[in-house]
Amino acid sequence: MNEPVGYVYSWSDQYIYVLITSDIYKPSIGDIMYVKTSDRYVLLQVIGYEGEVPVPPSSIVKEPYSKPPLYSIAKTMYAKTILFFEIRMIKTETGEYPVVTKPTQPPSLDSIVYLITRGDSESEKIMNYLSQGVKAVKELSEPVPVAWLRSGVASLDILRREKYFENAKLLVDLKTIVPKHILVTGQTGSGKTTSIMGIVTQWCLRSEPNISWLIIDRHGEYSIWRNNSFLDLLSKAVSLNRNMDSLEINVYVLESSRESFEKPNQFINRLTGSIDLTNIDISDLASILELPIEQISELEELVNLVTNLFEVVKDSNLLPIEWVNVFVKDSEGTGNLLALIPLLVDNVIRYEGIGEREKKGLYETILRTIGINIHRLRMYRRILLSNLSLRIERKNLKTQTGYETISVIDDSNSVFKTTILVKNPWFLVKVLTALLSALNKIRGTSSPVLSKLKILDSLKQDENILQKLYGGSINLDNVVNKLNSDRSSIVILDVSKIPSVQADIVVMSVLRRVFEQRVYMGVDKSSMLPKLAVVSEEAPLYLNPEKVSSPYNVFARIAREGRKFGIGLIAITQIATEIEKQILANFNTLIVLRTKHSSDLNYFKNIGIPSETLTSLGDREGYLYTSDLSVKEPIPVYIPGYFDYIDYITEEYSKSVREKESFEETGRKVFSIISRREGVKQ
Ligand SMILES: Nc1ncnc2c1ncn2[C@@H]1O[C@H](COP(=O)(O)OP(=O)(O)OP(=O)(O)O)[C@@H](O)[C@H]1O
Ligand SMILES: [Mg+2]
């Protein structure tokens, strides 16, 4: 039987003051108390305390320190609380069920107040009612228990047993809330990453494969492979859930100088390597370039011009068709063509002469048809090289009369690997010769550099080195296909080992393709695919007010209209209010963990989160607020980290391994009996 802790003593504004009468209980911020009436429970949450010892005139206190001066003088202590929830039972033909609402009236003065206490049967019952009552009114189709209700703050691990109600789970239908975007916010160390890992683990354990996940791993936390790591538990969880038989976990670790493939178990594919630049195009780059829109379109025009030259090269058979395909795919310039542009500046334009009289050839064409002058060309050259982390290397070619210097690309420090055709000077000479010949053909302007290139091209050279035309081992189209397939999968994109500019290009490229493919498919067709959850840390990096104004920002586009196409963001941030206001309002689910940031505290207070409690929360303790529950109020929860499931998963997993072994053992025995009989017959 639960002991009362006090009485409702007074009301003032929205606060309910509880006079504490218990000798052993002192109110603690975040504690949940209840008042029981004939037909309902009213839940109160402690957001502060007040108390005083009425001080007697000093004349009475003769010897203040020799004996307790306040002996026999009444002390008062109040818990300052707010109305939290009201739970009542509703009877219908099918039975009785709890309904949870936001209370509109205070409990009567003088009501007895109890503390929600683990182990007390009434408290357990109330928390279970709360768990059932906050669910959406209609039964959830595929509920996933993402959190445990909590009745206070466990400042020490040992207190968790008193405050967390593991049996009163918060169930949500992830596939419904994902496309409406989820924001996870809290200061560093508050548990954002480990909570999300916990939620994904639960999904693997309990759900149908109705979501695909793209986890952008900026710090290399999700892709760690060792015993009891997130990835380890995830694959065990998948193996325990029969629905997930066909789920694949694909881990891509991007690195500039290592290529490998591992398959640590049947569910995980782990590919380490670099990206083939053929897969990147100017639109991918546009999303990260901090250029005015006019300059981006100018750069696009430049790419188009060179693309057109390649079309002529193709039509006139000036190069093998496979070579042209390296630079132009589906009539669009590839990343290899982007890598070629700086080489056009260095090897061709530089020698054409840029003064008024002598200019003719490629530079003249660029200047006349698109109006890009040499200064801008040099700027674009620098931008392309630095963003793709490519370097120029100067090579000397031996000729009959001496040496010719030619600039080629060095991609050794980049995660983007380009084609041998721009890295090897002899192949590059062929490409440049073909392009200038094509230019001559269509514009009748002969570049002064063409004759020099032709001479070089005619020299005998070693052709044997052309073994492979393409660079890196990871093809972004494959990544995209996994995410837009009917079969759901988990893709972890670990970009922690490459510089952030390269990481941004990779991330934006994958996401833009996934999004545009779904837009192209249309709303109806995309709705047949599994929903896509894009888990991304450091959300303000791309969702801040300045960044969201760019039409190329795919994160902002997804935040605004991803829902129609079944794509939702799970954005993780230390400070929510750094995200642009309108975009922030698009997040229908908020997971708010510990924070001391004042503008965030204000923001959360306005949406009904008792912000007084936010500063003192423990790791992964917080409020979950989602428009999808029947109660549109923040629910106090503990979101278990992935490691909270270690015991359960390990036990179930070894059980399943044992079962499998004994099944195989039985199989072997049966087989040997049968074969013995067969043997007898023969
Ligand atoms: N395997 C584990 N077992 C127990 N506790 C852990 C484990 N891994 C992490 N934690 C604890 O969880 C807490 C929160 O970690 P988490 O990385 O989720 O925070 P975060 O909010 O993502 O922080 P940041 O903003 O710095 O990324 C840490 O204080 C850490 O001590
Ligand atoms: Mg983190």
| Residue-wise pLDDT tens digits, 135-145 | 755 555 678 99
- pLDDT interval class at 499 (50, 70, 90): very high
**Residue 212 pLDDT greater than 60, yes or no:** yes
- pLDDT interval class at 353 (50, 70, 90): confident
- pLDDT interval class at 459 (50, 70, 90): confident
Cα distance between residue 375 and residue 336, in whole Å? 23
The upper half-sphere exposure of residue 612, i.e. CA atoms within 13 Å in the direction of its Cβ, equals 14
Ligand 1 atom closest to Cα of residue 643: 1
CA-closest residue to ligand 1 atom 11: 191
For a pocket test of ligand 1, which of 185, 190, 194 has the largest count of ligand atoms closer than 8 A to its C-beta? 194
Whether 191 is in the pocket of ligand 1, judged by its Cβ within 6 Å, is yes
- pLDDT interval class at 519 (50, 70, 90): very high
For a pocket test of ligand 1, which of 157, 619, 643 has the largest count of ligand atoms closer than 8 A to its C-beta? 619
> Which is more confidently placed, 561 or 551?
561
Q: Domain locations in the chain?
A: 4-133, 157-274+473-647, 279-458
Phi, psi of 130 (to 5 degrees): -60, -45
The contacts of residue 486 (CB under 8 Å, 6+ apart) are: 528, 529, 530
- pLDDT interval class at 70 (50, 70, 90): low
Question: What is the CA(234)–ligand 1 centre distance, in A?
Answer: 17
Least confident of 345-354, 487-496, 540-549: 345-354
**Residue 130 pLDDT greater than 60, yes or no:** yes
Q: Could you read off the pLDDT of 290-349 as tens digits, one per residue? A: 788 889 999 999 999 999 999 999 999 999 999 999 999 999 999 999 999 999 999 999
DSSP 278-320: GG--HHHHHTT----HHHHHHHHHHHHHHHHHHHHHHHTTSS-
Cα distance between residue 194 and residue 197, in whole Å? 5
Whether 187 is in the pocket of ligand 1, judged by its Cβ within 6 Å, is no
The contacts of residue 114 (CB under 8 Å, 6+ apart) are: 2, 3, 4, 5, 33, 34, 35, 36, 122, 123
The contacts of residue 350 (CB under 8 Å, 6+ apart) are: none
Q: What's residue 465's pLDDT?
A: 65
Q: What's residue 43's pLDDT?
A: 95
- The CATH class that applies to domain 157-274+473-647 reads alpha beta
CA-closest residue to ligand 1 atom 1: 643
Q: Could you read off the pLDDT of 387-445 as tens digits, one per residue? A: 999 999 999 888 888 888 999 999 999 999 999 999 999 899 999 999 999 999 988 87
Q: What's residue 215's pLDDT?
A: 98
Nearest to 407 by CA among 420, 421, 393, 390: 393
Q: What's residue 490's pLDDT?
A: 97
Whether 227 is in the pocket of ligand 1, judged by its Cβ within 6 Å, is no
Q: Are 183 and 571 in contact (CB under 8 A)?
A: yes
Integer CA distances (angstroms), 466 to 270, 406, 425, 427, in order: 29, 18, 12, 9
Q: What's residue 156's pLDDT?
A: 80
Question: What is the CA(188)–ligand 1 centre distance, in A?
Answer: 9
> Which is more confidently placed, 539 or 359?
539
Q: Are strands 567-573 and 589-593 parallel, antiparallel or unpaired?
A: unpaired
Ligand 1 atom closest to Cα of residue 620: 14
H or E, element range at 226: none
Mean pLDDT computed over 369-379: 92
Whether 150 is in the pocket of ligand 1, judged by its Cβ within 6 Å, is no
Q: What's residue 621's pLDDT?
A: 95
Vertex 505 angle, CA 499 and 509, to 5°:
150
Ligand 1 atom closest to Cα of residue 188: 25
Mean pLDDT computed over 483-499: 96
Look up residue 208 and give its two tokens: 């149908």
**Residue 3 pLDDT greater than 60, yes or no:** yes
Question: What is the CA(191)–ligand 1 centre distance, in A?
Answer: 5
Q: What's residue 301's pLDDT?
A: 95
The pLDDT > 90 percentage for the chain reads 66
Q: Return the percent helix, strand and coil in the chain, to nearest 5.
A: 40, 25, 35
Cα distance between residue 444 and residue 440, in whole Å? 5
Mean pLDDT computed over 511-539: 95
**Residue 676 pLDDT greater than 70, yes or no:** yes
Ligand 1 atom closest to Cα of residue 191: 18
Whether 644 is in the pocket of ligand 1, judged by its Cβ within 6 Å, is no
Question: What is the CA(422)–ligand 1 centre distance, in A?
Answer: 45
3-state secondary structure of 428: helix
